[in-house]
Amino acid sequence: MTILNVTVDTSSSGRVDQIGDGSPEPEPEQSPAAADVALGVRHLCDSGITTLPDRYVLPPADRPGNISPAVLPVVDMAALRAGDPSQLATLDAACRDHGFFQVVNHGVSPEIGRAMLEAARRFFFELPLAERKRHMSGYIRAAVRYGTSFNQANDGVLSWRDFLKLLVRDARRLADDDWPREVRAAAAAHAAACQGVFRELMGAALDALGVVSRRGELLEECDAGSQMMMVNCFPACPQPELTLGMPPHSDYVLLTILLHDDVTGLEVSYGDGRWASVEAAAGAVVVNVGDHLEILSNGRYRSVVHRVRVNGRRARVSVASLHSFAAERVISPAAELVDDRDRPRRYMDTDMAAFLDYLATAEGKHKSFLHSRRINVSPSSVSSSKDDGDSCGCQFSP
């Protein structure tokens, strides 16, 4: 996988770490409080705050409330590899009805994930600010970017999150010299493992969708596509009930492979205002469908809105590996999934320019990009009655 001449880094929806949100260094005229905010939540915690600064306080309607656990479908990768048709049906249903699922028997050594999380913790919690700051950058194509919140330049309310973005520039030489040396080896091993899982799941998803004519070509595009790892840090928060670690968003990619520690926090939307918390079996990998796969599948698969809740007692660390085609590629519904009779085309062509245009005008509305690409079709002309037009919603009832 090589990402050359990429104008904009591919990332998940709504984030501008890839677009450049101005200098994260505090401006000289900023008040000390503003400067602290720009340096991230990890730094705010070190400064000894006991209440949540106003910039992080969400309006009551957007605060996290009571939720129940989500029951994520389980996809057995070993059975998929063995060509078990019922497992392909399980994957198909998971992408269609849930958008999130857990993968077991993926073949990735648990040591790789453990080492990645340990390296992330060392980076965020052991490195002094002066060291971490060296990786702060406003340069949009930086292979490394240390930042805070979600879309720091546009966020009306900031998110209780710091992150380290690691762009994979060359899949054959993963240990990028620009990546912080504290995480380099662990991140390279983890990135390679995620690529393998992504490739296998995409092959199976294309089979399940019946995308046969261009299957090989599309998988080659996956191999030559984009990968970015977002290493997220959600420190323990003084008033967790007033804020979020990540606001509601969907991921602007084909698939996201998610690794997190034993602290819960990820929540998925039912699409009707209710949320469910994601818990995966030990050793399982959590995977979610992104906007590009929803479009490629012409709405058969769902890119589900999710968010992260923070915790009053324990810090949480997660690593999202975001995978798609090359960043400059136009994404359209697959030809096999569109016809003039009962499967009208449901999405406009989408590219990075459309995404950036949307972001520039959509302050805070991280979750609506996909909706802006939808073509309204009358329900009577759609064969699948499953999709009620709200692509955010999913089914997680036990």
Ligand X SMILES: O=C(O)CCC(=O)C(=O)O
Residues in the site for Fe ion, rule: CB under 5 A? 12, 251
One character per residue 211-240, x = contact with ligand X (rule: CB under 6 A): -------------------x-x--------
Residue whose CB is less far from Fe ion, 87 or 288: 288
Kindly list the strands in the beta sheet with 246-249, ordered across the sheet, starting from the edge strand earlier in the chain. 68-70, 275-278, 266-269, 306-308, 246-249
CB of 288 vs ligand X, minimal distance in Å? 8
CB of 286 vs ligand X, minimal distance in Å? 7
CB of 261 vs ligand X, minimal distance in Å? 10
Residue 258 contacts which entry, Fe ion, ligand X, none (Cβ below 5-8 A, type-dependent):
ligand X
Residue whose CB is less far from Fe ion, 366 or 373: 366
Among the listed residues 301, 311, 307, 326, the one whose alpha carbon sits nearest the alpha carbon of residue 387: 301
Name which of residues 242 to 281 contact ligand X (CB under 6 A): 246, 251, 258, 260, 265-266
CB of 317 vs ligand X, minimal distance in Å? 8
Q: How far apart are CA 57 and CA 180, in angstroms?
A: 32
Integer angstrom CA distances of residue 231 from 70, 197, 284, 292, 309: 23, 18, 18, 21, 16
One character per residue 369-398, x = contact with ligand X (rule: CB under 6 A): ------------------------------
- 164 is a site residue for ligand X (CB under 6 A): no
CB of 161 vs Fe ion, minimal distance in Å? 11
Residue whose CB is less far from ligand X, 87 or 288: 288
Q: Exposed, middle or buried by CB within 10 Å (0-12, 13-18, 19+), for 60?
A: exposed
Residue whose CB is less far from ligand X, 235 or 344: 235
Residue whose CB is less far from ligand X, 263 or 377: 263
Tell me which amino acid residue 178 is.
Answer: D
Residue whose CB is less far from ligand X, 191 or 266: 266
Residue whose CB is less far from ligand X, 36 or 261: 261
> Tokens in use for 305?
């809105």
Q: Which of 96, 145, 169, 306 touches ligand X by CB under 6 A?
A: 306
Q: Which of 148, 227, 318, 350 touches ligand X by CB under 6 A?
A: 318
Residue whose CB is less far from ligand X, 37 or 229: 229
Q: Exposed, middle or buried by CB within 10 Å (0-12, 13-18, 19+), for 128?
A: exposed
- 204 is a site residue for ligand X (CB under 6 A): no
CB of 378 vs ligand X, minimal distance in Å? 33
Residue 103 contacts which entry, Fe ion, ligand X, none (Cβ below 5-8 A, type-dependent):
none
CB of 386 vs ligand X, minimal distance in Å? 24
CB of 320 vs Fe ion, minimal distance in Å? 6
Q: How far apart are CA 188 and CA 116, in angstroms?
A: 9
Residue 260 contacts which entry, ligand X, Fe ion, none (Cβ below 5-8 A, type-dependent):
ligand X
| Residue 307 backbone phi and psi in degrees, to 5 | -150, 170
Q: Are 201 and 101 in contact (CB under 8 A)?
A: no
- 155 is a site residue for ligand X (CB under 6 A): no
Residue whose CB is less far from Fe ion, 251 or 291: 251
Residue whose CB is less far from ligand X, 24 or 265: 265
Summarize as ranges the residues that interact with ligand X (CB under 6 A): 12, 230, 232, 246, 251, 258, 260, 265-266, 306, 308, 318, 320
